[in-house]
Amino acid sequence: MRSKGVLYTDTQILVPFFDVDRMNVVWHGHYVKYLEIARCALLDKIGHNYTAMSESGYAWPVIDLQLRYIRGAQFGQTLNVRANLVEWENRLKINYLISDLETGERLTRGVSVQVAVDMSNREMQLASPKVFTDAVARALP
């Protein structure tokens, strides 16, 4: 069972024509872009987005990304992309659910994992920096 997470955000995306293939479904690689849009919205909600991360001296590369395609999204369809914060103390783990905004039908599930890297020495951190965990603590309900 997938963890529900402690904080989430929903982002709506209208599938543009240039994201679909000859079969009029979204090309599989574009789903990663949709997850990134939702992840950025979640980080904004936390109050510690990529700009703040960089200013604090840390990069957060994606080290794992998983997608499970259930049904293809189509041109003109409005998607809801939910990003759920699952882990943040040692790594940043986010669960995603892409669904049809109108019907709620599940289309794609995903998970991303990121870790903090100290940019001064390029060393991966075994725990998330305090500046990030403090931001999450402030954002929690």
In three-state form (DSSP H/G/I as H, E/B as E, the rest C), the secondary structure along the chain is CCCCCCEEEEEEEECCHHHECCCCEECCCHHHHHHHHHHHHHHHHHCCCHHHHHHCCEECCEEEEEEEECCCCECCCEEEEEEEEEECCCCEEEEEEEEECCCCCEEEEEEEEECCEECCCCEECCCCCHHHHHHHHHHCC
Two tokens at 105?
A: 């039908």
Active site (catalytic) residues:
21
